[in-house]
Structure 1
Amino acid sequence: MTVIRPFEVVLLGPLWIATVYSLRRTLTKDPRSALLSGMVTLITLSITVGVPGIRRALETATGAEGVTTLLTHLFSLSAMTCLIAFIRHLTRGTVEGSVSGSRRSTVRTLSLPVVAAALSTAFFLSPRPDAEAHFLTQAPTTPIYAYWSVYLLYLGWGMSVSGRLCYRYRIQAPPGPLRTSLNFLCAATASGFLYVAHRAAFLVTGQRDFWPLSIGGMLATTQTLLALTLLLIVAGIAWPGLVDLGRARRRRRRLRRLRPLWEAIGQAVPEVVLPLPPELSGAPDVLLYRRIIEISDGILVLAPLCDGAVRAEARRRLASAGLTDARLDAAVEAVCLRSALDRKRSCTDVLPERETPLPAGSGSEPDDVGDGEEQGARLELVARSFVNPAVIRVATALQDVPTGTAGANAR
């Protein structure tokens, strides 16, 4: 027998990565995080213990032939209990009442030790397979039938509860990462049912020459269904976190692109930049929200210095350079901001009342702020134009353009 089988090669990498990542969450006070981490760790241990090379080493060290089969199944049943508890925490207050849910939780807590004791008793009363044989293929005896009945009934019950909860809450969940996660978990429970049904069918018919597949075909099918079930479970529990990581990455990228524009406006109009509490400085959503507001407020303050003649000439030159639509609007706004910042640095008087239009979407009125994502995308485009060498050259060339009323007043 090989040291490691193909399906274990597919599973162990993602499972150990998920285990190491989830262990960081056990330090939190959120019970869902602890249950999630416990479930992933137990699943990983159940697969790791079943690897042929590790299994032989453990059985040689302990002197207990076939004991790794029992350990694998105990880890699996414990992981199923964690999955049920996790889904109940996730859907608490939506799917079932808290009183009945707490009673079922007590029964569930008591049932796992009872099932573990029954499984262990049946295992030690059963004939032990040698190191190269699978426990499922042993000659049928009453303890073996009892062992697999206890294991498959508990696993099937757990899949039933998990599938029912996932399906019921999936209907109520809004479109988004949570619904996608529940879709994965629903698919995992369906695959798990096939796994249980396949093993149960072999247990009932395989020893009576009714089973259409060979022993090797049966084991390959079992391993495929198990791998599919576990990968779907990992995908379901990891999906919301992956979506959050992707969103945070996009927020940080936008913050980096906004930084040059934010710093330039903050130096010219420092009153629009407010101190941020240290505990919020690492939250990209909060930081991006503040940057958008501060940049918009700075544009509002600088708007009186954004001369109409400069705007018109900048649009003409940038359009002749091939810019169109949103890129042209962002480049014109960037030129106007550079012009306004230059005049602000050379102006010591109070800023005049606004006599020229504000840049589009600058937030002069509450309704102008619009959707935060749309506003952030527009300002990101302006910020990228702000540091564009072509835009800087146009802004420099327009420093000597005759100004209109606003520019004259500013002087």
Structure 2
Amino acid sequence: MLVSVVMIVAASASIVAAVYRARGLRSDPHNPSLQALVSGLFVLGVSIATAAPVVYTPVNHAIGIPNLLRVTTHLGMIAFSVAITVMRLYVAYPAEEATPRARRRLIAYIAAGATMAVLFVAAPVDEDRVDWTIHYGDEPIVRLYLMVYLLTFGSAIFEIARLSHRTAKFLPAGPLRTGMRFTAIGASLGCAYAVYKAAYVAWSALGVTMPGPLAWLDREDLVSPLLATPGALIMVIGLTLPSWLPALRAGWTGIGLRRTYRNLYQLWRPLYDVEPEILFGPVPPARPGLRPGRLAKLVERRAIEIPDGMLRLAAYYDPAVQATAEASAARAGLTGDEARAEIAAACIRDALDAVRTGRRPATPAVLDLADATTLADEIRWLDLVATAYRRHATATPRASSTETAAAR
């Protein structure tokens, strides 16, 4: 059951990835590298799905040809490896050099696939078996079939690993190099699968069984899928990562910016209500969209307007409120910017109330602000102040202070 679940997940991921990358063919329908990638991912997904035990036996019974999905799965794995090899050739070499290299490989792999089909038809495999290699591995024709398959698939997947590793070394740090490295890792697992399966066929033909601690190596029906399927999934991730990772990062950045903006807005709004002159441009929306560029500009505006509003409240900061906030921050174990943000939030909240009620301290307090040297540091500091302010804004407004005098 575990094998089936892993294989169905990997198959689904591969087919979804194929559909996702196929969108690029609308704008560049004659791109040979993209055509090979989309075709390879789709064939890989179908091949893994049809090899899953929960699919394999029912479909073979429905078709009426025992073990038919075995050969179609093997041919599909070869077709995938050929497609990705072609794609990597067009990435690693100029088109005029990649095209003849790709053509030679296609001819060799088509010949291998035809040989496999002939051998499969000739093999005495009349009983439908999920453990096909284990059950029929002692048949000479089946052994020859498997060796043709493993040599063809292994050589192709090894070339993918080699080309991906080679190309990654010359790429700058970024999604493309990361994708190449993932592809190389996944292809290396594919090589391990081919080597293991060939070794299993060899020692089975010699009548050798693995001793004690290595007995699990005789479970080819379990070991092969657990090597090939994760390798295929890692390759799918690597082959598609350059297209979706930047979008994922942009979306994650947009979510973070929106959270920061909405937090700052809760502090900006009351400052704007008492000091409209701080407005740097059009009144911003309370709930902006998720476009990172626009959100970044809005957050930068808040980082300019909020300090301006705090400066305009300088005459209303009460030393008594500041002292109370300092004691409260100390009791809470706050230090550094967190403590300063807590104190500033308490003073801002009280100063806004003082502006509305006409109170003014005889000697205003001077806030100890963060020592920000960059705009990013300033935004982080104001984010802390806004978070603290939201807590203070729910407190009951202070009616009066012995150190304040009414003024308008």
TM-score normalised over the length of structure 1: 0.71
Amino acid at match of 2:185: A
Question: Which of 329, 341, 353 is equivalent to 2:340?
Answer: 329
Q: Which amino acid aligns with 1:148?
A: L
Post-superposition offset of 1:401? 6.9
Match of 2:281 in 1: 272
Structure 1 segments of 4+ aligned residues over 6 angstroms from their partners? 30-34, 339-347, 397-401
> 1:117: which partner in 2?
114
Shift of 1:260: 4.6
In 2, distance between residues paired with 1:161 and 1:247?
33
> What residue is the counterpart of 1:291 in the other structure?
298
> Once the two structures are aligned, what percentage of the paired residues are identical?
19
Secondary structure at 1:272's aligned position in 2? coil
Separation of aligned partners in 1, 2:162 and 2:185: 12
CA contact (8 A) 1:303 1:357 kept: no
Superimposed CA distance per residue, residues 134-181 of structure 1 (whole angstroms, 9 cap, x where no aligned partner): 15634444x545532332122112222221133224434556665555
Among candidates 165, 168, 177, match of residue 167 of structure 1: 165
Instruction: Verify the 8 A CA contact 1:166 1:182 in the aligned structure 2.
Output: yes
Distance 1:35 1:358 in 2: 62
Provide closer, same or farther for how the CA distance between residues 396 and 88 of structure 1 changes in structure 2, counting only shifts above 3 A: farther
* Pair 1:314–1:118, CA change in 2 (3 A): farther
1:324-368 alpha-carbon deviations (Å, 9 max, x no partner): 212122234445665787799999xxxxxxxx9995477xxxxx4
Aligned residues of 1:335 and 1:395 also touching (Cα < 8 A): no
Q: How does 1:106-185 map to 2 (within 5 A)?
A: 106-108=103-105, 112-132=109-129, 134-135=132-133, 137-141=136-140, 143-173=141-171, 181-185=179-183
Specify the SS of the correspondent of 2:128.
coil
Contact 1:65 1:130 in 2 (8 A): yes
From 260, 264, 276, the counterpart of 1:261? 264
- Aligned pairs (5 A) from 1:235-384: 236=238, 241=244, 245=248, 248-249=251-252, 251-262=254-265, 265=268, 268=276, 269-273=278-282, 281-283=289-291, 285-307=292-314, 310=317, 315-322=322-329, 323-335=334-346, 360=370, 368-370=373-375, 372=376, 374-384=377-387
Look up the match of 2:228.
Answer: 226
Aligned letter for 1:80? S
Give the alignment's TM-score, normalised by structure 2.
0.72
Asked if structure 2 preserves the Cα contact closer than 8 Å seen for 1:311 and 1:332, the reply is no
Query: Quick one: distance in 2 between partners of 1:401 and 1:257?
Result: 35
Residue 295 of structure 1: how far off its partner (Å) = 0.8
**After superposition, what is the alpha-carbon deviation per residue over 1:361-389, rounded to whole angstroms, capped at 9, x for unaligned?**
77xxxxx434x4x555434323312312x
Name the counterpart of 1:351: none
1:399 Cα deviation after fit: 9.5
1:182–1:340 Cα change, 3 Å = farther
| Total equivalences in the alignment | 376
SS for the counterpart of 1:167 is helix
Q: Which residue type is aligned with residue 369 of structure 1?
A: T
Of stretches 45-54 and 71-80 in structure 1, the one that deviates more from structure 2 is 45-54
Give how far 1:131 is off.
0.8
In the aligned structure 2, how far is the partner of 1:289 from the partner of 1:247?
A: 12
Deviation at 1:282, TM superposition (A): 3.6
Does structure 2 retain, via aligned residues, the 8 Å contact 1:46–1:73?
A: yes
The answer to whether the Cα contact below 8 Å between 1:159 and 1:193 also exists between their aligned partners in 2 is yes
Distance 1:201 1:294, change over 3 A: same
RMSD: 4.3
Q: Report how far residue 298 of structure 1 moved.
A: 1.3
Instruction: Show the counterpart of 1:193.
Output: 191
Tell me, yes or no, if the aligned pair for 1:257 and 1:383 is still in contact at 8 Å: no
What is the CA–CA distance in structure 2 between the aligned matches of 1:346 and 1:273, rounded to whole Å?
28
Distance 1:58 1:152 in 2: 24
C-alpha displacement at 1:265, in angstroms? 3.2
What secondary structure, in the 3-state scheme, does the structure 1 residue paired with 2:317 have? helix
Aligned to 1:72: 73
Any conservation in 1 of the 2:89–2:101 contact (CA below 8 Å)?
A: no
- The CA distance in 2 between the partners of 1:239 and 1:311, in whole Å, is 55
Give the Cα–Cα distance (whole angstroms) in 2 for the partners of residues 190 and 184 of structure 1.
10
- Distance in 2 (alpha carbons) for counterparts of 1:130 and 1:301: 82
Question: Cα distance, 1:226 vs. partner?
Answer: 2.2
C-alpha deviation, 1:289, in angstroms? 1.3
Distance 1:289 1:71, change over 3 A: same
Q: How far, CA to CA, are the matches of 1:312 and 1:247 in structure 2?
A: 44
Go from structure 1 to structure 2 and tell me whether the alpha carbon gap of 1:305 and 1:138 turns closer, same or farther (over 3 Å shift): same
Gaps of 5+ in 2: 359-365
Give the whole-Å Cα distance in 1 for the aligned partners of 2:86 and 2:346.
Answer: 58
Secondary structure of residue in 1 paired with 2:69? helix
Q: How many Å apart are 1:130 and its aligned residue? A: 1.2
The gaps in structure 1 that reach 5 residues or longer are 348-355, 363-367
1:307 deviates by: 0.5
Q: Is this contact kept in 2: 1:305–1:344, CA < 8 A?
A: no
Q: Distance in 1 between matches of 2:233 and 2:389?
A: 46
Whether contact under 8 Å (1:159, 1:192) holds in the other structure is yes
Deviations 1:15-35 (A, max 9, x none): 425644663443244777776
